[in-house]
Structure 1
Amino acid sequence: MSRDKVTFTDLATATYCPRQLYYDRREDDREPPPEATVRIELAFRYPELRDLDDAALAAESIDRPPDKYRAALARLTDRADWESLSSPTNTRVLLDGKDARGVAHKILGPIGAAAPRDDEGNPTGDPPVPVVVSPGEPPDQGVWEPQSVKAVAAMHALSWQEGRRIRRALVEYPAHGVVREVSLSVRRSGTYRRVLRSVRDMDGPPARLSGDTKCRECRHRANCGVKTRSLRSLIGL
């Protein structure tokens, strides 16, 4: 079994659909689509977005009406970490952990040489918090499992780099003005390890899904061979 490091993105994709990852890996260009990049960039523009009028805000890639989006950002200002979240010092940080590597869109708190240390060189103070930004919409509560796995990967990688335990991460959904916390737990770590093993063991296309709703928007649908059934066929018409 290969012990190569797995990327955060591959872990998230495999959590969503292992077969999608298999076909992603066969492509030369694996950059995120431009529309996703634009939505991720919203997470770095909160102060600017708060000051836009309705017309200008409506022209942005947000998924809420301007007044509701502005209200969502106003709620974020009540957070104790709002200043760090809205004007982060550490952005797009490459984390290179023991098992996985990838980019944390933000890290709240000092890291590396900037982190305060005691006389023996051990880091002190509150641990830094990695932040993962998603271009999609949040669930009603918590975060989607692919983002949860990605956040756990970021926590483990940052722990490895900083030499201290990181047990908390944030997932941002900036198109909705929503920030959710992910705490490290036995269940989440177990899911992360399971996905990590499955990605490392992948040497061919995983089993096909059968008519799963997530296949409908997949760009690999044509060459994946997944056949979704219509409502008429499902009810026997």
Structure 2
Amino acid sequence: MTPFSDVARAAYCPRQLYYARREDDRAVPPDARARTDLAYRYPALADAPDATLRRLPLRRSPAAYRRNLDRLRERDDYDRLADPERERAFVSGKDCHGTIHKVLSPTGDDPPVPTVVSPGEPPENGVWEPQSVRAVAAAKALAWEREREVPRALVEYPSVGAVREVRLTTRKKAAYRRALRAARAIDGPPSRVDDDRCSACDYRGQCGVGRRSFRSLLG
């Protein structure tokens, strides 16, 4: 059984996953955890004064963040985002397991919706591929648990106040399967990558990409 986090890392860089697996402590860093925790505070943050928001690890100014939360409150699923059926739910599927940050309750004939919370910035459109792969893994595991199809998931960026949808299209499911195969195949250091992913990784020293200026395989 492969963790969601391993599949997401493999989608980004299998060599990064190889080094991450060798770490004794793979806990989420405190700053990332603090940003993730913002996803459980939307109602309070939407009406918080500037002084309160400035003390939080936001990636937007208080005014911009409040505008984003106002748009978030216009979503049909906002009430379920603010008060989900389950929080930090451990789910085990046929191939993967891990924690789903939120499970939004079913509505009518529609199935439940898993959400993945990211402490980072979203791209201009959609979501980053590792997060998309993790969202697909979460949806497939939840579908296995509930014994029903789960055709979509959400990725939340709470330090920005944005939520993006991931549909389980043929293309996205194929990317998930590639990442799953890559994660399962690792038994030694995979080949190095040679692009901008190397500029912000914690494993530059071990990886040996000496010509890079910061790190080596984004985490």
**Which TM class, normalised by the smaller chain length?**
over 0.9
Matched, 1:131 2:115: yes
Q: How many angstroms apart in 1 are the aligned matches of 2:26 and 2:139? A: 24
CA–CA separation in structure 2 for the residues paired with 1:141 and 1:135? 17
TM-score by length of 2: 0.94
How big is each residue's C-alpha offset from its partner over 1:56-97, in whole Å with a ceiling of 9 and x where there is no partner?
A: 101111100100100000001111111110122310011100
Q: Out of 181, 184, 202, which is 2:186 matched to?
A: 202
Distance 2:130 2:206 in 1: 23
Q: Which residue of 2 aligns with 1:101?
A: 97
Equivalent residue number for residue 142 of structure 1 = 126
Instruction: Give the one of 46, 50, 69 matched to 2:46.
Output: 50
TM-score (norm 1): 0.87
Aligned pair count reads 213
Q: Does 1:82 align with 2:78?
A: yes
- For 1:233, the equivalent position in structure 2 comes to none
Aligned equivalent of 1:170, options 135, 138, 154: 154
Q: What is the deviation of 1:229?
A: 4.8
Q: Partners in 1 of 2:51 and 2:211 — Cα distance? A: 40
Moved over 6 A (4+): none
Aligned to 2:97, the other structure's residue is in SS state: strand
Percent pairwise identity? 54
Give 1:19's aligned residue: 15
2:57 paired residue among 54, 58, 61: 61
Unaligned 5+ residue runs, structure 1?
A: 116-123, 231-237
Q: Is 1:191 aligned to residue 175 of structure 2?
A: yes
Instruction: From 21, 29, 32, give the equivalent of 1:33.
Output: 29
- Contact in 2 for aligned 1:9/1:150 (Cα 8 Å): yes
| RMSD of aligned Cα (Å) | 1.4
Q: Which residue in 2 is equivalent to 1:216?
A: 199
Structure 1 residue 228 displacement after superposition: 2.6
Q: 1:12 to 1:229 in 2, by over 3 A?
A: closer
Q: Please say if residues 215 and 228 of structure 1, whose CA atoms lie closer than 8 Å, have aligned partners that are also in contact.
A: no
Separation in structure 2 between the aligned mates of residue 26 and residue 229 of structure 1, nearest angstrom:
22
**Rounded Cα–Cα distance in structure 2 between residues aligned with 1:109 and 1:64:** 29
Letter in 2 for 1:203: D
The structure-2 alpha-carbon separation of the partners of 1:169 and 1:229, relative to structure 1 and needing over 3 Å to count, comes to closer
Shift in Å, 1:213? 2.3
